[in-house]
């Protein structure tokens, strides 16, 4: 296990279509996070899982977004009825726990372009 | 919600000059993390500070956490071209995690 894997790396979709992204965290990490990043901005928190439980969801996240982590391992992020404003880099991160020196390990991200 | 502000937004320095980025919050932070993101890359964790007044060093990088735990700084001594990228601070309170707006560093050879 060499890190956090995200698939696909790039996705181009037409407005109104649904898209799903996958994240495979580091296997020993029980915490998984989804972030969204647009050009020139810092990552924006979307949601957080501890094992299979979704413990936090950003108030900024519309009901078109849903995330799952069914077995506490990989996670999926689905966006329904995509809009042009959804175009961004979607980053997944994992960590073993919060505490001293346990930063997030980010994946390379999925770049979504909605046309 | 909690916001972490970073200044400056951009910084251009000659290679060999020092660089500092500052992170400020209106509320007390439980911890502060620093990340580096190379152009076209993803954020990479550098360090976490949790104690009031804490100072940590990583080679040419010095990280400080303010006494009131409302601000932090990252200082790079004698910048190199490999330091190019955007530096973000981040902090969580409970389960909410916030990243600063970042400081984009350009190093001119």
**What is the pLDDT at residue B102?**
95
Q: Do B42 and A106 touch (CB under 8 A)?
A: yes
Tell me, yes or no, whether B57 lies in a domain: yes
pLDDT value at A98 more than 70: no
Tell me, yes or no, whether B86 lies in a domain: no
**What is the pLDDT at residue A100?**
53
pLDDT value at A97 more than 80: no
Give the containing element (helix H, strand E) for B3.
none
Tell me, yes or no, whether B14 lies in a domain: yes
Question: What secondary structure, in 3-state letters, does chain A show?
Answer: CCCCEEECCEEEECCCCCEEEEEECCCCCCEEEEEEECCCCCCEEEEEEECCEEEEECCCCCCCEEEECCCCCCEEEEECCCCHHHCEEEEEEEECCCCCCCCCEECCCEEEEEC
- Please give the angle made by the CA atoms of A6, A11 and A12, to the nearest 5 degrees: 170
Cis peptide, bond prior to residue A8, ω within 30 of zero: yes
Place of tokens 């932070």: B29
* CATH code, domain carrying B66: 2.60.40.10
Within an 8 Å CB–CB cutoff, is residue B108 touching chain A?
no
The interface residues of chain B toward chain A in range 20-49, judged by CB-CB distance below 8 A, are 31, 33, 35, 41-48
State the residue range of the domain holding B54. Answer: 1-77
Domain count, chain B: 1
Tell me, yes or no, whether B43 lies in a domain: yes
Chain A residues lying within 8 Å of B35, measured CB to CB? 103-104
**What is the pLDDT at residue B95?**
66
Q: Which of B9, B103, B84 is nearest to B40 (CA)?
A: B84
pLDDT value at B84 more than 70: yes
CB of A24 closer than 8 Å to CB of A71? no
| Residue A79 Cα distances to A46, A85, B15, B36, B98, angstroms | 12, 12, 43, 28, 22
Tell me, yes or no, whether B84 lies in a domain: no
Tell me, yes or no, whether B106 lies in a domain: no
pLDDT digits (tens, 9 = 90+) for B39-64: 999 999 999 999 999 999 999 999 99
Share of chain A above pLDDT 70, in %: 96
* A108 phi, psi to nearest 5 deg: -80, -10
pLDDT value at A105 more than 90: yes
Give the containing element (helix H, strand E) for B96.
strand B96-99
Please give the mean pLDDT across all residues of chain B.
93
Tell me, yes or no, whether B66 lies in a domain: yes
A57/A66 Cα distance (integer angstroms): 10
Tell me, yes or no, whether B89 lies in a domain: no
């Amino acid at each position: 296990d060499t890190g956090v894997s995200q698939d696909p790396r790039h996705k181009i979709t037409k407005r109104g279509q649904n898209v799903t992204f996958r994240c495979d965290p580091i296997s020993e990490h029980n915490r998984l996070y989804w972030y969204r990043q647009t050009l020139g901005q810092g990552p924006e928190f979307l949601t957080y899982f501890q094992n299979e439980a979704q413990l936090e969801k950003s108030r900024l996240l519309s009901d078109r977004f849903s995330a799952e982590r069914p077995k506490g391992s990989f996670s999926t992020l689905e966006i329904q009825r995509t809009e042009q404003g959804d175009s961004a880099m979607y980053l997944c991160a994992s960590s073993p726990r919060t505490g001293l020196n346990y930063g997030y390990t980010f994946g390379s991200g999925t770049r979504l372009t909605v046309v | 919600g909690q916001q972490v502000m970073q200044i400056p937004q951009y910084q251009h320095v000659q290679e060999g000059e020092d660089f500092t980025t500052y992170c400020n919050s209106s509320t007390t932070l439980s911890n502060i993390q620093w990340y580096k993101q190379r152009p076209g890359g993803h954020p990479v964790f550098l360090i976490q500070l949790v104690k009031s007044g804490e100072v940590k060093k990583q080679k040419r990088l010095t990280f400080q956490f303010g006494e009131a735990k409302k601000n932090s700084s990252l200082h790079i001594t004698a910048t190199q071209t490999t330091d190019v990228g955007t530096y973000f601070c981040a902090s969580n309170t409970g389960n909410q995690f916030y990243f600063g707006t970042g400081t984009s560093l350009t190093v001119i050879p």
